[in-house]
Structure 1
Amino acid sequence: MLTLVGIVVTSRATKSAALATARANTAAAAATAEPNQRAADLEAFRAIREDMQCEIGELRQEHGRLQSLVYAFVGYVAELSAQMRDAGLEPSAPPARVEEYNRTGA
């Protein structure tokens, strides 16, 4: 009977040791994986950042082109309005949004 009790105790100790080893292995794997995950996250962040910087650059160029077009159009409309006034014609009032921009600059 003593042998049977010794086997049960040994079996429980072996199971406990195996469980502790499994937990330790899981913790070690997580500790090893974290730097790798951080590196992967950093690489993904850099790729996203590069894409966003490229897109922002393109939007800035487009904004500059559109702003240049608006300024050219303003000059053209002003010239046409002056020609109308020289011919004795009064041009129609600008839309409210244009009037607001002329007044506030925004």
Structure 2
Amino acid sequence: MNGWMGIIGTCVTVAGVIVTGWFTYRGTRTAAAIQSGPAAEQSKFTVLEATVTRVDSENKELRTGQRRLESLLRAFAWTTDRWARQMHEAGIEPEPAHPLVDEYNRTGV
């Protein structure tokens, strides 16, 4: 009888160790997830913040270039208009303007 009791005691001990190990594993994994949560969120936020800063910088450069191009287009339109008036005053009939130029002169866009 002592032999059977030893085997049963050993089996109960092994089962207890396995169950304890399983609960320890789950608890450790959950604790790691809870701890890494704020760090992971902070990391995501840092990446997002860097991306927004980069996109803002690129947009500023694009807006500056677009303003410059619009100013150049306006200056070119005024210059060609002045030349066309000078040709009319001198009795020279200029070639008709491209339809896109006519549209720009009508709408400013």
Instruction: Indicate whether the TM-score tops 0.5.
Output: yes
Q: How many residues align?
A: 106
Matched, 1:83 2:69: no
Within 5 Å, which residues of 2 pair with 1:39-78? 39-78=42-81
Match of 1:27 in 2: 30
1:5 to 5, 8, 16: 8
In the TM superposition, residue 98 of structure 1 has moved relative to its aligned partner by 1.8
Residue ranges of structure 1 left out of the alignment (5+ in a row): none
In the TM superposition, residue 102 of structure 1 has moved relative to its aligned partner by 3.0
For residues 62-101 of structure 1, what are the alpha-carbon distances to aligned partners after superposition, in whole Å with 9 as ceiling and x for unaligned?
1111111001001100011011111111111111222223
State the AA in 1 paired with 2:9.
G
Q: Distance in 2 between matches of 1:16 and 1:98?
A: 82
TM-score by length of structure 2 reads 0.90
Q: Distance in 1 between matches of 2:104 and 2:74?
A: 12
Other structure's SS at 1:94 match: coil
- Point out 4+ residue stretches in structure 1 off by more than 4 angstroms: none
Residue ranges of structure 2 left out of the alignment (5+ in a row): none
In the TM superposition, residue 41 of structure 1 has moved relative to its aligned partner by 0.8
For residues 12-60 of structure 1, what are the alpha-carbon distances to aligned partners after superposition, in whole Å with 9 as ceiling and x for unaligned?
1111110110111011001100100111111111111111111111111
State percent identity of aligned pairs. Answer: 31
- Across the aligned residues of Structure 1 and Structure 2, the Cα RMSD in angstroms comes to 1.2
TM-score by length of structure 1 reads 0.92
| More contact order relative to length (CA 8 Å, sep ≥ 6) | 2
Matched, 1:95 2:109: no
